[in-house]
Each structure stands twice: as C-alpha cells, then as structure tokens.
Amino acid sequence: MSNNPFPKGFLWGASTSAFQVEGGYNEGGKGPATTDLGTGKPGVADCTVAADHYHHWREDVDLMAELGLKVYRMGFSWSRIMPDKTLEPNPEGLAFYDQLVDYLLEKGIEPLVTLYHFECPQKLVDAFGGWRSREMIDAYLKYAEVCFTHFKGRIKRWVTVNEQLVATSAGPLNGNFEPNPDKNLKNIYQMSYNVSLAEHKAISLLRQIDPSAQIGPVCAIQVVYPNTSRGEDVLAAENAEELTEFYLLDMSVRGEYPPYVADYLKRYNLYPETEDGDDIVLKASKPDFIGINYYFSVCAKKKEGLVNYDQPPFWVSHEFDICENTHFVKTEWMNMGIDPIGLRVGIRKVYNRYQLPMIVTENGVAYSETLGEDNCIHDPYRIDYLAKHIEQVGFLLNEGVPIFGYCPWSFIDVVSSRQGFSKRYGLVYIDRTETDPKECRRVKKDSFYWYQRIIANNGLLE
Ligand code: BG6
C-alpha cells in the first residue's frame, strides 16, 4: 500500500471479554455466571481461572502500554457488578474495574467496554429464565445504569451487546436448554427480541446520564457467498445474511426487522411476542457506531430436503443451506477457511446500509500453541492473517468508509468459547494447560512485536 490510509488518531487496539480472561470467578463478591464452568467437558479449561487477569491486571495493562495500544476493547462481568436478583451493585466488583479503568487511562489507553459479552448472571437465569423473560430487560437496564453513572466521564465508548446472534443461540451462555428444536428456535427469537428492547432502553438511558459518551452494538458479521451464480443460490445467500446479520443490525439501528425477516418469522411461527409501546422503545434510539467481529466467511446454497437441526441454531433454516467454500485454505481451527477479502465485502455492506462509523472489535486466527525450547512462540501464521485483514481495512479507508479502529482478538490467550486453551488467539501467550493453570505466566509472541511495529508505524510496514 503506497499511501498510508490509516488516519492520525486511528485506534489500534486489542480485545478480550471478561468471562474469558478474568478468572477470579468466586472472588470479590462476584455472583455465579452461566459461563463460569465453561463447556463442562472434562479436560477442557473453564473460566474459573481463565487467564487470571483478575490477579494479573496491572501486568496486563503494562503489556498493553508496551504494545502501544490506543484502545482496549474489554468487557465488564455482569455478575461481578450485579451478582444476584436484588440488583444491588457489588462495591468490590466496581472497585476492581475502577482500578483497571483508572490504570488504563493513566497509561493513555481508552477502555472500550462491553456490558454484555455472553455471560449472564446465573441467579437471574434461575430466578426467571434470563432473556426468555422481560424481567431480564429491567435487570440489564439497572446494571447499565450503575455502570453509566459510576464510570461517567471515564468511559467514552460503550458496547451494548457482543454478538447478539451467538449470545441468544448458545444455551450454555444464556441458560436456554429447550430440547425441542422448533421451540428452541422460538425461544431464541424471543430472547433476541428482548435483548433488542434492552439495548434500545440502554442507549436512551446513556443519552440522559452521559450525553457525551457513545454506544453501539458489536455484530458478528456474516459474510455469505452464493455457492454458484444460479439465482436460487444467490437468493439463498441473501436470505442467510438477512436472517443471521441484518435482522439484528436492523433492530439495533432502525428498530424493526427487515421485511423478509418479519415475513419469514411469521410464516414459520417464530415471530416473538410483543407488547404495546415496544415499537416506540425500539425507534426511540440509534447507536453511534457499529463494532464488527469477523473471522471467516461462509457459503450458502438453495435449501433442499429437510431442515437440518444438527448445526448452530442460526444456520437452521427453511430457506438456505450453509455449505463448504472450496476456494479457501482451511486450518486446524478455521474449518470454513481464511478469507481476508470477506472483511471488506462485509464491512462495505454494513456501511452502505447504515452509514455509521465502525470499529473492528474482533478479528483473529486460532492455533494450538505450546512454548518451544527457546521459550518463545513463533506465530508467522497469525502475523500473516492479521496483516492481510489490516490491508483490507486500509482499502476500505481509502474508499472512504469510516472505520475508526482495529482490535485483533485477542490481546492475550483466553479461554475459547468452547475449546478451552487448546485454541489460542492471543498476541501474548499464557503459560498454562487445560487442566493446570500454573502461574499463568505471560510470554510475548512474535505477533506481539510485529503488531507493536504496526502501531508505531500507524499502518502496515512497506
Ligand atoms: C467471538 C466472540 O464469537 O469469537 C469471542 O465474541 C470468541 O468471545 C471468539 O472467543 C472466538 O471464538 P472461539 O469459539 O474460537 O472462542
């Protein structure tokens, strides 16, 4: 790239989420969370210790400063701040984040904080079923109110919800374990509708409490290519994008379902229960920005045969089938293959539809890694992946698409959402095994030093 497209002040960052990085699961007055025990599979790390950031936070911020981060895309643990259904804030939980946020600010790193990243307070799930009930909307709003008020002036950008698609589909994260697949889908759409109401109420609340702060959702963008150029496959790919990405972003930005999705939900008896006045809530606010999570693209073809329930619920459809894309190189953990151009395709669509500024909040590649004899991690594959995706961000900036930051997933190795520490994404290695947390020693990978140079150069090196 000859002219550097990255503007002065571009937010080079890195990401984690609270439940995947913190550990300290029963310390400091934290309540139990749906995510504490991870997958529950023997031999796979859970979140009880995770990367032990709860005890290493100062060292971690020092590493972020050494890396040169401008922004740290992090999460608050809902159950650390509001442990149970009394909805009373936990002073020790707030104190933990006070010290973390203050130290980040001291080091000149902006905390970009996600309120809800997969983890739900278990006590709320036990009390009323979590997002299946509208009571969860009030609980989330109370939690948001405490955070907005307490951190007013210190946190300038908030994320309402991380990946609503995944947060509402994955039973272990949200406590919905409905065995009947059709009822399960119905629950998922109801939970997602309730999340959308909560999101809009939180945005409206932030406007009152701290009007200078910004807020937006983080979307797992779904870049879906048609399997062939046949009209039926092109339509199937569009249907898949509408049902897995735009239905959520349209709810966040426009406060309504896209017409195709509304019609689909009615035809298949999946439309959620609504109440009078919901439309006013949904239309009353609009986010300031959209966070983009992108790892890989997928491929879709015309639906044929019976509905396949044996896949993630968001791919269970009457009107498309997800299929393999043979054009991409697959890796151990990326079975859909690696597709940097997909990031450009996906972000361009999001911008054309909503005209909002964007930040890449997650992008990364997983490998199983162990320390070599030289006590280092040499990860050229990660450098290659990140460089190719950063290049696409540069192309988008040249086209005039407003992207204000880029955050690889993840800053340090964290517990993967399903595969423990076998699946590592970090720029910093955590020296622990699945079953033995040891000291959770931090070791900078080659990609750490590479990204440090990218940040210092404000863009890719020639
Ligand atoms: C995103 C999530 O879906 O992908 C992260 O926001 C997650 O929380 C990341 O860890 C990678 O997924 P996984 O399943 O490989 O951990």
Does residue 257 sit within a domain? no
Query: For residue 172, which amino acid is it?
Result: P
Q: Tell me which residues have their CB closer than 6 angstroms to ligand 1.
A: 17, 20, 162-163, 166, 220, 293, 362, 366, 409, 416-418, 423
pLDDT at 62 over 90: yes
Task: Tell me 436's DSSP state.
Answer: -
Work out how many domains the chain is built from and give that number: 1
What was the pLDDT predicted at 269?
A: 96
pLDDT at 2 over 60: no
Mean pLDDT computed over 370-385: 96
Catalytic residue among 163, 242, 319, 369: 163
C-alpha 261 to ligand 1 mean position (Å) = 26
Mean pLDDT computed over 109-136: 98
What was the pLDDT predicted at 291?
A: 98
Does residue 25 sit within a domain? yes
| pLDDT level of residue 39 (50, 70, 90 thresholds) | confident
pLDDT at 267 over 80: yes
pLDDT at 88 over 60: yes
Catalytic residue among 241, 242, 362, 369: 362
What's the token pair of residue 236?
């199937």
> Which residue's CA lies nearest to atom 5 of ligand 1?
417
pLDDT at 424 over 80: yes
- Count of residues in the chain: 462
**pLDDT tens, position by position, 441-460:** 999 999 999 999 999 999 99
Does residue 355 sit within a domain? yes
Does residue 427 sit within a domain? yes
For position 421, which CATH number holds? 3.20.20.80
Mean pLDDT computed over 51-78: 98
| Parent domain of 34 | 11-219+339-457
Does residue 2 sit within a domain? no
pLDDT at 372 over 70: yes
* Annotation says 373 is catalytic: no
Average pLDDT over all residues of the chain? 97
C-alpha 462 to ligand 1 mean position (Å) = 31
Q: What percent of the chain has pLDDT over 90?
A: 97
Longest dimension (CA), the chain: 65
What was the pLDDT predicted at 3?
A: 80
pLDDT at 422 over 70: yes
For the ranges 88-97, 154-163, 305-314, 408-417, which has the lowest average pLDDT?
Answer: 305-314
Tokens 């990405």 found at = 245
Phi, psi of 231 (to 5 degrees): -50, -40
What was the pLDDT predicted at 302?
A: 97
Atom of ligand 1 nearest to the CA of 423: 15
C-alpha 248 to ligand 1 mean position (Å) = 18
* Annotation says 462 is catalytic: no
What was the pLDDT predicted at 349?
A: 98
Reduced to 3 states, what is the DSSP secondary structure of residue 124? helix
| pLDDT level of residue 344 (50, 70, 90 thresholds) | very high
Cβ contact 384:334 at 8 Å: no
pLDDT at 1 over 70: no
Mean pLDDT computed over 201-221: 98
| pLDDT level of residue 40 (50, 70, 90 thresholds) | confident
C-alpha 43 to ligand 1 mean position (Å) = 19
pLDDT at 91 over 90: yes
Does residue 46 sit within a domain? yes
* Cα–Cα distance for residue pair 364/427, rounded to 1 Å: 10
Q: Is the pTM of this model over 0.95?
A: yes
pLDDT at 274 over 80: yes
User: Which residues are CB-contacts of 183 (< 8 A; sequence separation ≥ 6)?
Assistant: none
Pocket test of ligand 1: the residue of 46, 120, 362, 382 to mutate, having most ligand atoms within 8 Å of its CB, is 362
What was the pLDDT predicted at 145?
A: 98
What was the pLDDT predicted at 462?
A: 76
Cβ contact 432:48 at 8 Å: no
